[in-house]
Structure 1
Amino acid sequence: MTTSSQSNEKSYFDVHTTGLGFLKRIREVTPGGRKRDAFLACAISALTGTGDKPTYRYLDVRVSGSKAQELVRSYIADVEAGRPVLIQFRVSDTFSDVFVRTSGDKAGMPDATLKGRLLKAAALDLSVLQQMVQHRLDTRGLGYINRIARSQRDPSLRHCSLAMLNGSVDEPVYRYVNVDATDPAVVALLDQYSDDVQAKRKVLVSFRLEDLEASFFTRTKGENAGEHSPVMKSTLSYIGTIKVDGQEVYRDPSKIGHSEILPENAEVAPEVAGNDVPPQVDPPVDQSGEQPAVDSVPTAEASEPLAESAA
């Protein structure tokens, strides 16, 4: 490996989620512990679905980018006054977290929310919403396909578990997401490499997800039975590349040379340290081939920010 290639090589994986949403709950957080610094946090009510009847995905994020911090702080007064602030955003390290509600009709009940780090944000005029036909909440990155199941109700649908790679290449963190695939091209690729997944070979893909959603499931066996564990749900809308045990076996022929279809580090981190595929959670997809019942963020709470905006 040359010096120039070494200087360009990245040593970490990124999962990026982008979209439009309303800025909410700006606050300074002071963690417990003497050596932990305070940080700026906010919430984003991300829009997804059709332009005339959008739904919302709630993200609770730490504001990491310096310019993003400046922008968020500049709108504190507007947010506190209930004025709508629309932003375009990029969030990294997206994951789902379980919490217990402390107020309202569901006080004491578990729920889940998306979390991450806000890297970039730009304010938009509300008139942009009038031009939107479809809101897209996109998530891109690299991950392992570790389970594929055919739907018993819809022959054209596939369920699978995707272990998204995040953090250091040497010691990655896996973010698990249950995904549905309906696009014929994606379904065909999953079917083509399902035997490799079944044989527990390392099937690494660059992917695009749509409409990421926080969820949780209750463990039913083992020493952690009864615990609520976070997971995410989404739609697998695109596969750009596939590697099986480190060897590239597929690349979208129509996008060769278009680097924007891949995460920034897709080409420099082809392998993860170790020989094992990522461990499976309990269980993202059950043996019957259908999604298990998983509680998700209630749409009523997710829709609340829009009601505030319209007020």
Structure 2
Amino acid sequence: MATTPQTKYFDLHIQGIGYVNRIREVNVKRGENFWACDISALHGAVDDVQYTRFDCRVSGAEAGKLIKRMHKACREEKKILIGFKLGDLYTETFTYESGAKQGETGVSLKARLLFIHWIKVDGVSVYTAPPKADVADDVQSETQPLADPSPTGSNDRAQAAVH
């Protein structure tokens, strides 16, 4: 029996906190419909907060359930603040069709919403993710540097980082 080689990937994740806006179900002609939202991520000094907007396709199963539950609160223009993890960041250009920037090229940051750590609606905590069972493994892999990150290196931790 022949075994097919398993494809390996390097992950790039973005973690932060941000406000959720424009929760919507996207209807497509081919394939399955999906949920999407915008996240205005906070960064910078607390007394001078900056925002970066991500247009997200909701990909995580649990994240999908949670975003659907927040749809009504979003329509009611409540402030939805989440702790999030995004993946697969890419850019997409577009042309402004109206307003002061009409005709100019803009850039949109796109990503997949993979995980929601917690949710607050109008300052009230409504969800906290259960703790992961393998927290000790995550802490160990994050705190110990990789000696040889090359795919051909002999470091087992480097090989484990690629999945």
Q: Same fold (TM over 0.5)?
A: yes
Question: 2:101 maps to which residue?
Answer: 224
1:136 aligns with 2:11: yes
Q: Which runs of 5+ in 1 are unaligned?
A: 1-50, 53-132, 262-311
* Correspondence for 1:234: 111
Q: Paired residue for 2:44?
A: 167
Partner of 2:21: 146
- CA deviation map 1:218-274 (0-9, x unaligned): 111112111222220111100000011111110002349x6x79xxxxxxxxxxxxx
Aligned match for 1:198, one of 75, 80, 89: 75
Structure 2 gaps of 5+ residues are: 1-5, 140-163
Q: Residues of 2 paired with 1:170 and 1:146: CA distance? A: 23
- Give the match's secondary structure for 1:143: strand
Q: Tell me how far 1:215 sits from its aligned partner.
A: 2.5
Deviations 1:172-231 (A, max 9, x none): 111111110132211110011111111111101111111111233211111211122222
The one-letter code matched in structure 2 to 1:197 is C
TM-score in terms of structure 2 length: 0.71
Letter in 2 for 1:150: E
Q: What is the one-letter code of the residue matched to 2:16?
A: G
After TM superposition, list the pairs within 5 Å mapping 1:61-210 onto structure 2.
Answer: 133-153=8-28, 154-155=32-33, 157-210=34-87
* Cα separation, 2, equivalents of 1:233 and 1:168: 24
Percent identity over paired residues:
29
1:192 & 1:172 partners in 2: Cα distance? Answer: 28
What SS class does the counterpart of residue 222 from structure 1 fall into?
Answer: coil
Q: Distance in 2 between matches of 1:166 and 1:140?
A: 11
Q: Helix, strand or coil for the counterpart of 2:66?
A: helix
Partner SS for 1:195: helix
Instruction: State the Cα deviation string for residues 144-172 of structure 1 (Å, max 9, x = none).
Output: 111111021324x1111111111122331
Q: How far apart, CA to CA, are the structure 1 residues paired with 2:35 and 2:53?
A: 17
Task: Find the residue that maps to 2:131 and give its secondary structure.
Answer: helix
Q: State the distance in 1 between where 2:78 and 2:117 align.
A: 19
Q: TM-score, normalised by structure 1?
A: 0.39
